[in-house]
Amino acid sequence: MNFSDKIYIAGHKGMVGSAMHRKLVKEGYSNIVTRTSAELDLTNQQAVAEFFATAKPEYVFLAAAKVGGIVANNIYRADFIYQNLMIESNIIHQSYLHGVKKLMFFGSSCIYPKLAPQPLKEEYLLTGLLEATNEPYAIAKIAGIKLCESYRDQYGSNFISVMPTNLYGYGDNYHPEHSHVMPALIRRLHEAKVNHAPFIEAWGTGKPLREFLFVDDLADACYLLMQQYDDKLFVNVGCGEDISIKDLIYLIKDVVGYEGEIRFDASKPDGTPRKLMDASILLHLGWKPAIGLKEGIALAYADFLNGAYRSV
């Protein structure tokens, strides 16, 4: 990418898209095209076609998606598969038709089989059954990877895919029912602190292991990949370290300053036992995350207090 190139960030208001926008601005890019969901419905094929014909972007970051946590994924199954399939199909196809030089598609670590060996390597895709609670969303994301691969195979399009681990940070979603584990816990522990609750109940046993990456570290990695990576194989983006949900809760408890008890409800589902990414491809390019977990939680909590909390 050159500084004069026109770059379209699909989903620039979301956590990933806004981090990508911050990174590009920081690096000196100014010819950045964005549209809010009110301005452009990405599930509308004709609207997306007209946008590409008019805007003519040269590079595309496809960060737009319908996202949510374990509860939302399980309840709104049709919404998650339909909307994500439509968004990625429309943008990838129009990028091909209009000669986009390079496109980056953002997937999710939930694409891997529930019981895949750890750490998760790119080659494990489609080698086993998916986690049932988020299967529709995972299938949509797998379809996005295969779209990029297929347009590369048939047309030579330089479309690449990245699979981030669990993300958190600036602009996260703190909805009490539709958020991911990190923001959900930040909100719950904050409210327990404010309300002087003697205890909170957490879903599951606390034993599952999860890896977390601050979203600005993801943007840094993806900027590097957009500059240096042109291969067909999608790329895992993670830090290479994980933590149990139980330890995570106590870490957030410490950052938030909640002094009550944590109780685990083992009757609720744990989800996938472990999801640790093998980020060898990325690490071999010389990238490493800059923000540690406790530091990142403190930054996320400050962002939550500065406005995110009041918006939900």
Q: Over the Cα atoms of the chain, what is R_g?
A: 19
* Catalytic (active-site) positions: 137
The rounded distance, in Å, linking the Cα atoms of 293 and 239 is 10
Residue 174 and residue 183 in contact, taking contact as beta carbons nearer than 8 Å: yes
User: Could you tell me how far CA 185 lies from the centroid of its own chain?
Assistant: 17
Q: Are strands 212-214 and 166-168 parallel, antiparallel or unpaired?
A: parallel
Closest CA to 262 of 206, 194, 183: 206
